Structure 1
């Protein structure tokens, strides 16, 4: 086990850079924080590159880290790696999945497509919900927050290690899915059917969109059908992550 004590150590500087999207894209790697996320990465195994732990924190004895490099750091260094107010003192460096993830996604039958969702808490919750609902893959389109943003990772609670999450062109994916006879449903307030009017099958794709503007009109014009959730109270709309959960579970039933 290595032990780093200097905040000026090159490895520390490199880890800190992973808090930026630019560095994550450049190195095709990302940093996660907290016991739960690190344990999920350890279970998945293939993406985990290194565990970093504060010398004030111990590794759980149930963890098998025999094949994983572990670096011990000072509490001062640990605090440089966090973006939370109450850090747990444990981190991991993970690699972005290879193109194999996209190949696995193309074999799926159920999909969540996300258009320009910018709130990291919403995106992470939607990924976690798709995982819970047994969706085969999540496709995140242009204009959305980075899928490896630290708040997205925390909100998703480890679901990044459970199913393919792919950054892609939604127009291309709609065409690809419809070419496989998978119906694509958009979400809209106008010109749409109430979601309970749809008879879902084994295969489907659902598109949800930006918090303020919804799904882009050019995407809605390409769907098989567009759906809405009725509002019975005085609220103007539902939170996009909540709406996603309602629709995914209905379509999946």
Structure 2
């Protein structure tokens, strides 16, 4: 049992709270039974599992190195106020845009809850890829991970320069729609392409002008009431479900 927050192993786990360390180590932390189960089902590389004294240890976990820790150590590692008492160290995966049918591109959305919610919604709507542009909340931020509810393990998700990515998407025959009011058409008046990428942008500024200029089509959502705009995650949900491929 690990009892001290000064233990070198504990220090290495705590470092993973910082993006710089996650990037350099190629690892991140997940917390809770559900997320660990989703990582296992999706066959992500689980390096080790950490459990608080008194927490239940699932049978399948015995395939991985297990570390029992005291309450004070768990509180030093966790990011939640009421932790479930179980965490895992996971290795990152490299995403790919090789087989995109439906993709969501996220430009400089900084709220982790919005980013995680959009990933979860993209998964539910049958999108296969999410690409996070520069300035967007880190995929492996604890709040993003929790908001995805495990959907980050089900899809191709990666971070990239969106200007470069859009050129690559077009070369693969993927039509790009950008949200925005300038020279935009209502989404429901448009034919839905066979392969489609949708870009949503920063909560206050929307999609950057230079990125929007590269899109094949600018789209907007009608506002029937007096609200000026929709929350970015809601707007993304409307567009993704409207353009989802029906199975």
> TM-score category by the smaller chain?
over 0.9
Q: Deviation per CA, 1:59-80, whole angstroms, max 9, x where unpaired?
A: 24xx412321111111111111
Structure 2 gap segments, 5+ residues each: none
Extract unaligned runs of 5+ from structure 1.
Answer: none
Cα deviation for residue 190 of structure 1 reads 2.5
Structure 2 match to 1:134? 126
How many angstroms does 1:46 deviate by?
3.0
Does structure 1 residue 91 correspond to structure 2 residue 87? yes
Structure 2 residue aligned with 1:65, among 61, 64, 67?
61
Instruction: Provide the secondary structure at the position in 1 that maps to 2:88.
Output: strand
Shift of 1:45: 2.8
Match of residue 244 from structure 2: 252
Identify the residue that residue 110 of structure 1 maps to in structure 2: 102
| Distance in structure 1 (CA, Å) of the matches to 2:150 and 2:144 | 10
TM norm structure 2 = 0.96
Deviations 1:162-206 (A, max 9, x none): 111110011111111111221100000222000101111331000
Shift of 1:56: 2.1
Match in the other structure for 2:8: 10
Taking structure 1 as the reference length, the TM-score comes to 0.94
Indicate conservation of the 8 Å contact 2:30/2:36, yes or no.
Answer: yes
Report how many residues are paired. Answer: 245
Partner of 1:149: 141
User: RMSD in angstroms over aligned alpha carbons?
Assistant: 1.1
The residue aligned with 1:35 is: 33
Q: CA deviation at 1:216?
A: 0.4
Q: Which residue of 2 aligns with 1:45?
A: 43
Contact 1:194–1:229 under 8 Å retained in 2: yes
Distance in 1, matches of 2:71 and 2:119, equals 32
1:166 aligns with 2:158: yes
| Aligned residue number for residue 80 of structure 1 | 76
